[in-house]
Structure 1
Amino acid sequence: MSQNHYQVLGVAVTATAHEIKLAYKRLAVRYHPDKHGGSTQFEEQFKQVSVAYQVLGDPARRAVYDYQLQVVARRAEEARRQQQFRQQGQHVYGVPMPPPVPLRTRPPAGAAERHYRTIPKQKPKFNRRDYLLTFGVFGLLILFMLSVKVTMDHVTAVSNYEDGLAAYVNSSWGTAHGFFTEALHFKPTYTEALQRRGEIEQFAYQNYRAARTDYRAALANARGRTAAQLWYRLGQCHSNLNQPDSAEICLGHALALDSLLSGARLARGETRLFGLNAFEAAIQDFSAGLRLRKQQGRSLKYLTYRGLAYYKLGNYAAARSDYQQVLLQNPRNGQAYFLLGRLAQREENAGAACEFFRRAVTLGYSYAAAAQQQTCP
């Protein structure tokens, strides 16, 4: 039987390219004709080695050659099997075949193995990994559903708030209140919706308790100037509910967050004047608030209140100055004439007091009529 190329080089079928190259070099040196005086025997072996290396040294040709060897091996195995199972009397080329080699098999099965046995059903058993995986899938599903719900609620709340804001601008208080309430149904912590609904309750409906509730809820998530504005509104509600102490605290919080909030400062001055009888503190608040409002024009109401605070402290000159400033900006202000009359009464100037009361009555200030009757003959 002729040798294959692996056998010629003396290497295994699984040999690497490096091993094949080393084997070729070794045999080429051994069988080179120059070392054997030109002997034809070694020359033939040298050619076989060269041919074997040309095939096995090229990866592509080697792959084809290996496949051919496998085909030949399978055919030989198939022929061997067919030869093994020939009948006893069969002759090959006129020569009887030898008896086949007995196959090695296990002993015959016993009676216990010659019937089917029912395999008992086993209940599936969950291990720790299975439980974790199941809980993880359910957890992700719940998180996904919650995220979808939160997103949809947010979108619906924003849409209702924008509709309510449009109605708020147009002074449609009932429509705006309904939209803000619907927005808060989907997003209870919506700060802007709480603030706007509170303003409607405060200014349109005079429902100060409901407004106070909305402002307090909005303060939970408010920051900066928004929080200052909410504290200011909350202080106004407490003031309208005759709770001056709480009003002063809330307005103080508003000014701590935004010291330039003139409305909060003037409102605190009003609370200190009428609710707490803190006249000096009220004058400080009125003065600071009026300075902040210079660019928008002075507020006659708070000028009058500051004059009244000066009057309560006995500083009649400062009080008269404030009342006169009010009359310079609004000569038909009957209240200012009435307060000047009270000031003249305190200074025991009955003639001036009667004149001021008369002007106040002429301008339609009803409270001056009783004072005129009591003072003037």
Structure 2
Amino acid sequence: MFAASVSQNHYQILGVAPTAPAADIKRAYRQLVVRFHPDKHGGDIRYEEQFKAVAVAYGILGDPGRRATYDFQLAQAARRAAEAQRQQQQRPVSQHVYGVPMPPPAPLRTRPPAGSRERHYQRIPRQRPAFNRRDWLFTLLFIAGILLFAMAVKVTMDRVSANSNYADGLRAYVRGDWSAAYSFMDETLHFRPDYAPALRRRGELARLSLQDVHAARADFQAALQQPQSRRLTADLLYQLGRCEAALGRATTADFNYTRSLSLDSTRSITYFARGEIRLLDLHQPALAVVDFTTGLSQYQRTGRKAPWRYVQLRGVAFATLARYPEAWADYFRVLQANPTDGRTHFLLGKLAAHTGDSTAACEFYRRALNLGYEYARTAQAACH
């Protein structure tokens, strides 16, 4: 059951026909490798032997040149076997077998010849089978039943394979093996192309690990076509918004963030993302301040530490609106959390310059440059 039989050829090991195209051979190999991988069976030696046999078979059939040579060898072996069988069938009955002569054939025993009265034959008329409408109906129903049963079996097996691959993909996702997780999710969607959880996970992996924003966007859009809870729909819209923002489509990203928040208004990360795009791309600092403030308030209510980057961005929005005292407060909050952030010192320098305090501005530029923030070099040079 587990080890490949010596009489099996490589096509039988992979479970494909000798005329199968290369794509079918590759698909069969990938499925069998996942099924018989020793790590999935606790190092069972029987699965290990089957795994090795599958690898050897694909090593030959996956290479066009080696496959052609192997096909020629199979054809030669088939011809030799057919020739041997033909010679065996044509061997004379008097031929010696293992040095012992064959016995003569026994005489054919027959009855005496029939008399003249018996030799009278009557032709039996041929009767055509009667195939009525009910027979046709039963035949069609039988064929339809077979087709429905085959479809049900295929759907069931596809669902089982998809669930198994999805579970393996989640385990790889949790342990941080992004490449394996993506492969398992891709295999899941091969069996169930509309499986929303796998589309969502593959989209996340494509965006965060492979940096393939277009592929991630397509997966999130496909997942949104499937029915699911409001919370998951809100998360997919947020993910789609991140893809649109990465592609430079700020207006579309803002629209998706807004749709996400209409379904789940407790998502502080969505408020931050929308505030960032409204501040930096859509140039709407007043709306950005509202989003940053809402997101930070939700963090504080849950007892979590506010992300200093979004406090800093809110300070930038306040400074853009000439609300300088509030901008000062946010920048100093950031410095308390991260005193070595050169960008915050640079922003404080710009704020001091806006309020006419050139001495403080130059000091902040100097600190920012000492902390490695090179964008402060031009502004610091103007202080001399």
Q: TM-score, normalised by structure 1?
A: 0.66
Deviation string for 1:319-359 (max 9, x for gaps)? Answer: 11111111122222211111010011111211110111111
2:377 match: 369
Check if 1:157 corresponds to 2:165.
no
Query: Which consecutive residues of structure 1, in runs of 5 or more, have no partner in the other structure?
Result: 1-114
Task: Give, in whole Å, the separation in 1 of the partners of 2:211 and 2:352.
Answer: 38
Q: Deviations over 1:177-211 (max 9, x none)?
A: 11111111011111111111111111112111111
Counterpart of 2:322 in 1: which secondary structure? coil
The equivalent position to 2:171 in structure 1, one of 142, 166, 178, is 166
Q: What CA distance in whole angstroms lies between the structure 2 residues aligned with 1:308 and 1:132?
A: 78
SS at match of 1:233: helix
Q: Which has the larger radius of gyration?
A: 1
Identity over the aligned pairs, expressed in percent?
42
Report the counterpart of residue 265 of structure 2 in structure 1.
Answer: 259
Deviation at 1:131, TM superposition (A): 3.1
Choose the corresponding residue for 1:191, options 193, 196, 203.
Answer: 196
Find the counterpart in structure 1 of residue 205 from structure 2.
200
Give the equivalent residue in structure 2 for 1:333.
341
Q: Which of 208, 232, 235 is 2:238 aligned to?
A: 232
Residue 268 of structure 1 corresponds to which residue in structure 2? 274
Matched residue, 1:356: 364
Paired with 2:140 and 2:124, the residues of 1 have a C-alpha distance of 35
Deviations for 1:4-31, whole angstroms, at most 9, x for unmatched residues?
xxxxxxxxxxxxxxxxxxxxxxxxxxxx
SS in structure 2 of the partner of residue 293 of structure 1:
helix
Distance 1:150 1:344 in 2: 68
**Alignment partner for residue 285 of structure 2, among 279, 282, 295?**
279
Partner of 2:43: none
Distance 2:262 2:152 in 1: 38
CA distance in 2, matches of 1:307, 1:255: 23
- Indicate the residue corresponding to 2:127 in structure 1: 121
AA matched with 1:273: L
Which of 232, 250, 253 is equivalent to 1:247?
253
- What whole-Å deviation, never above 9, does each CA across 1:226-249 have from its counterpart, x for those lacking one? 111111111001111111011011
Q: Which residue of 2 aligns with 1:292?
A: 298
Report the 3-state secondary structure (helix = DSSP H, G, I; strand = E; otherwise coil) of the residue aligned with 2:159: helix
Partner residue in 1 for 2:229: 223
- The gaps in structure 2 that reach 5 residues or longer are 1-120
**Structure 1 residue 130 and structure 2 residue 135: aligned?**
yes
State the shift of 1:121 in Å.
2.4
Counterpart CA distance in 2 for 1:286 and 1:134 is: 70
1:173: Cα distance to partner? 1.4
Q: In structure 2, what residue type is equivalent to 1:227? A: T
Shift of 1:120: 5.6
Q: CA deviation at 1:117?
A: 8.0
SS at match of 1:296: coil
- Once the two structures are superposed, residues 81-138 of structure 1 have per-residue CA deviations (whole angstroms, 9 ceiling, x without a partner) of xxxxxxxxxxxxxxxxxxxxxxxxxxxxxxxxxx9785562342322x3333322222
Instruction: Find the aligned partners of 1:118 and 1:174 in 2 and give their Cα distance.
Output: 75
| Residue of structure 2 in register with 1:176 after alignment | 181
Using the TM superposition, name which of 336-345 and 169-178 deviates more: 169-178
Q: How many aligned residue pairs are there?
A: 261
- My pick for the range that moved more, 240-249 or 327-336, is 327-336
Give 1:372's aligned amino acid: Q
Cross-structure match for 1:323: 331
Give the TM-score taking structure 2 as reference length: 0.65
Q: Report what 1:145 is aligned to.
A: 150
Indicate the RMSD between aligned Cα atoms, in angstroms: 1.6
